[in-house]
Amino acid sequence: MGNECTYCGSNIERHDPVFVNVGANTSTNQAGQFCNYACLATHIEEEGLTDGAACEWPC
Ligand SMILES: [Zn+2]
């Protein structure tokens, strides 16, 4: 995996990168990397990752 935002393809090193892991917090489970939280949030919405899990997020 390079240093491109999973969502928009921008170079994350030029921003404030956000890394996402699935399951255990290890690099081998990395699910994505985003140049900012806006890309992260949009990606999650478009992938439907919040389906059935809305109540697991702090309200
Ligand atoms: Zn981005």
Structural domains of the chain, count:
1
pLDDT in tens, 35-49: 988 998 898 888 876
Note down the domain range covering 8.
1-49
Residue 56 alpha carbon to ligand 1 centre in Å: 24
**pLDDT at residue 2 greater than cutoff 70:** yes
CA of 31 to the centre of ligand 1 (A): 14
Burial class for 8, CB neighbours closer than 10 Å (0-12, 13-18, 19+): middle
Give 19 Cα–ligand 1 centroid separation in angstroms: 11
Could you tell me if residue 5 is inside a domain?
yes
Q: How far does the centroid of ligand 1 lie from the alpha carbon of residue 13, in Å?
A: 11
- Ligand 1 center–CA 2 separation, angstroms: 13
| Residues in CB range of 42: below 8 A, 6 or more apart | 7
Residue 17 lies in a domain: yes
> In this predicted structure, what is the pLDDT of residue 55?
57
In a domain, 56, yes or no: no
What percent of the chain shows pLDDT beyond 90?
20
Q: 42 in a domain, yes or no?
A: yes
